[in-house]
Chain A
Amino acid sequence: MELCSRTLTTLLHLTSPSSSSNSLLRSTTCNYATPSKSTNYFNLSSSQSHYHNHNHHVLHRFQQQQPYLFHHHQSSFSSFVVSASSSSSSVAASSTEELDRLPAELKVSETQEPNSRVRLQVEVPPVVCEDCYKRVIIEFTKQAKVPGFRPGKPVPESILLGYVGRENVQKATIESILRRTLPHAMTSVTGKALPDSVRIVTKFSDLEKIYSSQGSLRYDVLADIVPELKWFPDNAYKNLKIVVEIDSDIDAQKASEQEFKRRYKSIGALKVVADRGLQVGDVVVIDISATTIDQDESKIKNIPSAESKGFNFDTEDGDRILPGFLDSIIGIRPGETKSFPLVFPETWNQENLRGVHAQFTVECKELFYRDLPELDDSIADKLIPGCTTVQQVKDLLLQRCQEVEQSAREQATDNAILDQISKMVEVDIPQSLFEEQGRQLYGASLLEIQAKMNLNDQQLASLSSSKAVNEYLEHQKDNIRNLIKQNLAVGDIYRRENLQFSTEDLVKEVENSISEFKRQNQEYDEERVKDQVQEILEGAKVLEWLREHAEIQYVTR
Chain B
Amino acid sequence: MAEWLKRPTHNWRESRFMDGIKYAVFTEKSLRLLGKNQYTFNVESGFTKTEIKHWVELFFGVKVVAVNSHRLPGKGRRMGPILGHTMHYRRMIITLQPGYSIPLLDREKN
Q: Is B110 an interface residue (CB 8 A)?
A: yes
A147: chain B residues at CB < 8 Å are: 27
Task: Identify which of B16-24, B63-71, B75-83, B93-101 touches chain A.
Answer: B16-24
Nearest Cβ distance between residue B81 and chain A, in whole angstroms? Answer: 28
Most chain A beta-carbon neighbours within 10 Å: one of B18, B22, B59, B105 = B105
* In the complex, residue of chain A having the shortest beta-carbon distance to the beta carbon of B29: A148
Q: Is A240 an interface residue (CB 8 A)?
A: no
Q: Is B10 an interface residue (CB 8 A)?
A: no
* In the complex, residue of chain B having the shortest beta-carbon distance to the beta carbon of A169: B110
Tell me if A161 and B26 are in contact (CB < 8 A): no
Task: Identify which of A84-92, A149-157, A524-532 touches chain B.
Answer: A149-157
* In the complex, residue of chain B having the shortest beta-carbon distance to the beta carbon of A148: B27
A107: chain B residues at CB < 8 Å are: none
Tell me if A7 and B28 are in contact (CB < 8 A): no
Tell me if B26 and A8 are in contact (CB < 8 A): no
Tell me if A149 and B23 are in contact (CB < 8 A): no
Most chain B beta-carbon neighbours within 10 Å: one of A14, A158, A170 = A158
CB-contacts of B40-88 with A (<8 A): 59
Q: Is A10 an interface residue (CB 8 A)?
A: yes
Nearest Cβ distance between residue B10 and chain A, in whole angstroms? Answer: 24
Partner of A148, one of B21, B23, B25: B25
Nearest Cβ distance between residue A18 and chain B, in whole angstroms? Answer: 17
A148: chain B residues at CB < 8 Å are: 25-28, 30
Tell me if B59 and A3 are in contact (CB < 8 A): yes
Determine the distance from Cα of A10 to Cα of B24 in the docked complex, in whole angstroms. 9
Nearest Cβ distance between residue A437 and chain B, in whole angstroms? Answer: 46
A161-B110, A166-B110 known; A11+B59 contact, CB < 8 A? no
Nearest Cβ distance between residue A339 and chain B, in whole angstroms? Answer: 92
Tell me if A3 and B106 are in contact (CB < 8 A): no
Partner of A156, one of B18, B21, B105: B105
Determine the distance from Cα of A461 to Cα of B30 in the docked complex, in whole angstroms. 58
A8: chain B residues at CB < 8 Å are: 104-106
Interface residues on A, range: 20 to 34
Nearest Cβ distance between residue B52 and chain A, in whole angstroms? Answer: 12
Tell me if A10 and B26 are in contact (CB < 8 A): no
B59: chain A residues at CB < 8 Å are: 3-4
Determine the distance from Cα of A156 to Cα of B106 in the docked complex, in whole angstroms. 11
Q: Is A396 an interface residue (CB 8 A)?
A: no
Partner of B27, one of A7, A10, A149, A166: A149
B104: chain A residues at CB < 8 Å are: 7-8
B103: chain A residues at CB < 8 Å are: 4
A11: chain B residues at CB < 8 Å are: 23-24, 26
Partner of A10, one of B18, B23, B30, B31: B23
Q: Is A274 an interface residue (CB 8 A)?
A: no
Q: Is A322 an interface residue (CB 8 A)?
A: no
A10: chain B residues at CB < 8 Å are: 22-23
Determine the distance from Cα of A88 to Cα of B58 in the docked complex, in whole angstroms. 63
Determine the distance from Cα of A8 to Cα of B106 in the docked complex, in whole angstroms. 8
Tell me if A158 and B28 are in contact (CB < 8 A): no
Tell me if A170 and B27 are in contact (CB < 8 A): no
Tell me if A158 and B106 are in contact (CB < 8 A): yes
Determine the distance from Cα of A158 to Cα of B27 in the docked complex, in whole angstroms. 13
Partner of A149, one of B18, B28, B105: B28
Determine the distance from Cα of A495 to Cα of B108 in the docked complex, in whole angstroms. 59
B22: chain A residues at CB < 8 Å are: 7, 10
Given A148-B30, A149-B28, 5 other A-B residues pairs in contact with their CB atoms under 8 A: A3-B18, A3-B21, A7-B104, A156-B105, A158-B107
A-B contacts, 5 of them at CB < 8 A, read: A7-B24, A8-B106, A148-B28, A159-B105, A161-B110
Interface residues of A (CB under 8 A from B): 3-4, 6-8, 10-11, 14, 147-150, 153, 156, 158-159, 161, 166, 169-170
